[in-house]
Amino acid sequence: MKPTVHDIARCAGVSLATVDRVLNARPGVRGATRERVEQAIVTLGYVRDLAAANLAKGRTYRFAFILPANDNSFMIGLRREVEAAIARSSVERTQIEIIEVPAFDGGALVLALENVLARKPDGVALVAIDAPQVRAVAERLADAGVAVVTLVSDLGASGRHHYAGIDNIAAGRTAANLMGRFLSKVDGRVGLLAGSMLVRDHRERLEGFLSVLSEDFPQVAILPVIEARDDPALAETSIREALRRHVGLNGIYSLGAGNRGLIRALREVDAARRPVVIAHELTASTRKALADGVIDAVLNQDAGHEVRSAIRVLKAKADGLPVLAAQERIRIDIFLKDNLP
């Protein structure tokens, strides 16, 4: 059975009136009590369901999801999660449109956002490119009353209402700590494989990674970033060349996609000489590489949670309701070959 407001009240040890005040962001609740109620909501997995009220009003939410069109296993999985939400649309009273744009193309993203603005849906979710022109149109959407949620990669100072994704600086710091420990503090060189520095998630992962290595593992030398645009073929060529040129390359951090190409290049290297590799996103290819010992660790984010979170937030914003930050926090999962799900 789905948890109810009565369950929240019992779990938090408060009255139904207090739960109602927290859910509707009304005053009169002490900070510690509010936190207790919010924690009960997260613990119980309570999700506010406005379907009945919206059915009575004949309300259907209109949302647009703008996703990059490329050969990226994680983004393909993200699209599947949006398609799953579309399949549930009659029950959830949503009308969701998927708009694809070329990856890392700021101009195409701006054009797509402007087209969405002309139609004024209830909300838009986008995998952002952190550029001034993208931030500007995001602010125009927000000013026009359209809820804006960024997915996976955030915008800088902008008018967006919510970010549904992991803390990418923390992810980079985690990767650096794993890398330093795997290398046992030996001298060495670490290569960096990114998609593009145009996207904020890759920049933030790099920032977190470099800060920890410089502070805690200064003996590790960092090679220049390889930008492979999440293209497996380009990643394969670039990593093969890096392995040829840098004999002391004993670590690789893949902070973007294109991991199928990275894995192909790594399988050509004798296992005894293979570098320590940390990558992002548990896909079919990274799962197999992890099980085979070709990759040492994978940091993962739950695409399904991100899409569901984005839809919940867009609904809340459309209805003028508060967002429960604890419920929408996306965690970073760390997988080794020993704890593969």
Residue 325 is predicted with a pLDDT of: 80
Residue 280, helix vs strand vs coil: strand
Q: What is the CATH number of domain 57-164+303-329?
A: 3.40.50.2300
pLDDT in tens, 124-135: 999 999 999 999
Whether pTM > 0.85 for this model: the answer is no
Residue 243, helix vs strand vs coil: helix
Residue 70 is predicted with a pLDDT of: 84
Residue 56 is predicted with a pLDDT of: 46
Q: 57-164+303-329 and 168-300 share one CATH topology?
A: yes
Contact 300, 330 (CB under 8 A): no
Contact 162, 155 (CB under 8 A): no
CA-based torsion, 237, 238, 240, 241: positive or negative: positive
* Beta strand ranges found along the chain (DSSP E): 61-69, 94-102, 123-126, 147-151, 162-164, 188-194, 220-227, 249-254, 276-280, 297-300, 333-335
pLDDT in tens, 82-117: 999 999 988 888 999 999 999 999 999 999 999 999
Domain range 168-300, CATH class: alpha beta
Look over the chain and give the mean of its residue pLDDT values, rounded to a whole number.
92
pLDDT in tens, 50-62: 555 554 455 789 9
Residue 327 is predicted with a pLDDT of: 82
Q: Where are the domains of the chain?
A: 5-44, 57-164+303-329, 168-300
Phi, psi of 340 (to 5 degrees): -60, 130
